[in-house]
Chains A and B, each alone.
Chain A
Amino acid sequence: MIKKFLAVLISTALLSGAAFAATLNGAGATFPYPIYVKWNSIYSNKTGVQVNYQGIGSGGGIRQFSSGVVDFGGSDAPLTEAQIDAAGGDVLHIPTVMGAVVVSYNLQGVSGLKLDSDVLAGIFLGKIKNWNDPAVAALNPGENFPDKAILVAHRSDGSGTTSIFTDYLAKVSLKWASQVGAGTAVSWPAGVGGKGNAGVAGQIKVNDGAIGYVELSYAMTNNLSVAALKNKAGRYIVPTLDSTSAAADGAMASSKIKKMISSGDFRLNLNNAPGVDSYPIVGMTWILVHKNQKDAEKGRALVDYLKWILSDGQQYVSELLYAPLPSSVRSKVLNAVNGIKI
């Protein structure tokens, strides 16, 4: 038994040595980590190219990418101009998958909560403190709200989820934009912080009257109760993979986004997208690569890998509860990937 095992081990070692083409190293965002790991294992089985991805967080990913420690970075927030300069200026943002951020809550006697952007911002700003606030009741005719203090739960660790959520609030609420702003970690005006999706979900679960935000995939796998949010078209939309994709399609219709895509800039903001079925809080995650690759062999391997995840790779996306990129964007991104200088 042990002999057999050893033989297999050695032969696989030899085989992988024979098939050794290149090793690609990446690091960054944890939000897309599950799908990247899945892609990497399928891809290495297929081609023998080893791709390693460490989910160390977007911030760490951007730092390691800028200093050239890794071949590609992963980030849930697009780089600022200063960060692009620090990384050498020639940074290409390649969107890989999309996800939604959902508002989850725990309130006895209330199911099917509906919120609009004003009330959501009011709650997270700490202005709306009790569930019996008339502003909440006005959006939910027929529901009976108890006299219960609202406990806001947010992420305590820096996170791409927070970045997407706060970006949405800053987009829809001037007060939020001026008082708090958007980023992976912000100075929260109200509530308690939980570490990770699990930490926030835990706070919501044990506190009657709590409300917080988590990734769609996390909420779906854990059956959390989620609020329907009013979108730009005025309809209340429950977060699903379909309404996430609808948001992307809706966003693609805007002329500003069209212009960005055709100029090869994929730092697209999908929050508060138009379209009747669009869920309003949606974001994408990016792989960061240099437009000018220094090492020809690595560069070629990287381009092949990126092409694969943008074509064949997309079929594995929905089973891990991410939304795939719209095909219109994919073709444009593939063009950009083909333009990488090796």
Chain B
Amino acid sequence: MWGRIEMKKGDAWFKAVTFGFALSIPFLLLILILILLIQSWSSISHFGFGFIFGNVWDPLADKFSALPFIYGTLVSSLIALAIAVPLGMGCAIYLSEISHSKVKEYIAVMVELLAAIPSVVYGLWGIFVLGPWLTRVIPGMKYGSCLLTGGVILAIMILPTITAISREVFQAVPNSLRESALALGATRWETFRLAVFGPALSGIVGAIILGLGRALGETMAVTMVIGNRPEISASLFEPSYTLASVIANEFAEATSSLNLSALIELALILLVLTIIVNGIARLLVWKTTLKYNPN
């Protein structure tokens, strides 16, 4: 429509300004990647691909590699999702489909409160309460600072995100769909499964992605409970380390330029990791929406 009809001056300005704003987002991302690339170049050229697959992180010997951190980041986030997705979805289903409006209000407020707690508070609570409790409850767990505790803390932190958004998504499904399912004699569960879940699916995946994004990038709470040990261990009860944590921990005191550059390369890897994870999730959304809404 633009262009065919002669534009008013105001419209032209409007278009130009908003176009500029829209452009600023990809521009920012590009600049970010570019700066990270430039600053990490000495590490990239020094270590090559070995950086990604290596196992050593020794600031004194100027030997750096990323695999233990990538492992810790991915596994802790996966644990978080494994706990938070069923829990958050269940909560959201109850809130939107079953509960009375009074209960709904109270729980919704509490979920939002959970989201507003600063991560350092979660971290302290993780050290002094969650970690010791997990060691008492889970046999074989020797100390509170480990990959599992990190994952559980993350789960609690992303729970409000997943719950709140899923609830919104469920509520956005038109009531007429529910009514028609009920009219056909469906039970509450069948109504949810047939009439609500399908249309809401892409939104749910969106909620999970947002939660995952927070889990991948979370720094403070995780570093306080994960044990900060750059090692890959098959056991979830052993200490681990994440990309964001090591950057936060070592950046201020990194003295050698290669150390600094390696930390920035970790940041680049974290960024790329998030982009890949996001891409996969988008693909999933696209596929599932195609399945449920072929048109």
Contact = CB atoms under 8 A, between A and B. Distances in A.
Interface of A: 56-60, 62-63, 77, 83, 149, 151, 156-159, 180-188, 191-195, 199, 202-203, 205-207, 210
A203 to B, nearest CB: 6
5 contacts: A158-B252, A158-B253, A184-B255, A187-B59, A191-B229
Interface stretch (B37-45, B84-92, B141-149, B173-181): B141-149
B9 to A, nearest CB: 46
Nearest to A199: B224
Contacts of A62: 255
Interface of B: 56-61, 124, 127-128, 131-132, 142-145, 223-224, 227-230, 239, 241, 245, 248-255
A128 to B, nearest CB: 17
Contacts of B223: 156, 195
- Closest 10 A/B residue pairs (Cβ): A158-B253, A193-B228, A57-B252, A156-B228, A192-B227, A187-B58, A59-B253, A157-B249, A202-B127, A181-B60
B145 A186 contact: no
B255 A58 contact: yes
Nearest to B63: A187
Given A186-B60, A187-B58, A206-B132, A195 B228 contact: yes
Contacts of B127: 194, 199, 202-203, 206
B168 to A, nearest CB: 35
Contacts of A199: 127, 224
Contacts of B61: 181, 187
B84 to A, nearest CB: 24
Given A63-B255, A188-B229, A195-B228, 18 more contacts: A57-B252, A58-B253, A59-B255, A60-B251, A60-B253, A182-B60, A184-B59, A184-B255, A185-B59, A185-B60, A186-B58, A191-B229, A192-B229, A194-B145, A195-B223, A202-B124, A202-B128, A202-B224
Contacts of A207: 143-144
Q: Max chain A CB contacts within 10 Å: which of B57, B60, B230, B239?
A: B60
A63 B251 CA distance: 12
Contacts of A210: 143
Contact of B249 (A158, A181, A183): A158
Contacts of B250: 157-158, 185
Nearest to A187: B58
Contacts of A195: 223-224, 228, 249
Contacts, number: 100
Contacts of B132: 206
Contact of A186 (B59, B241, B249): B59
B209 to A, nearest CB: 28
A192 B252 contact: no
Nearest to B254: A59
A31 to B, nearest CB: 11
B229 A193 contact: yes
B254 A158 contact: yes
B255 A83 contact: yes
A62 B254 CA distance: 10
A194 B131 contact: no
A83 B60 CA distance: 15
B228 A60 contact: no
Nearest to A158: B253
Given A202-B127, A206-B144, A207-B144, A157 B253 contact: yes
Contacts of A191: 229
A183 B239 contact: no
Given A195-B223, A206-B127, A184 B228 contact: no
A192 B239 contact: yes
A205 B127 CA distance: 9
A126 to B, nearest CB: 12
Contacts of A193: 227-229, 239, 241, 249
A185 B143 contact: no
A181 B241 CA distance: 21
B23 to A, nearest CB: 33
A187 B64 CA distance: 11
A225 B223 CA distance: 25
Contacts of A59: 252-255
B252 A60 contact: yes
A181 B62 CA distance: 12
A199 B249 CA distance: 12
B60 A192 contact: no
Contacts of B144: 206-207
Contacts of B248: 157
Nearest to A160: B253
A33 B81 CA distance: 40
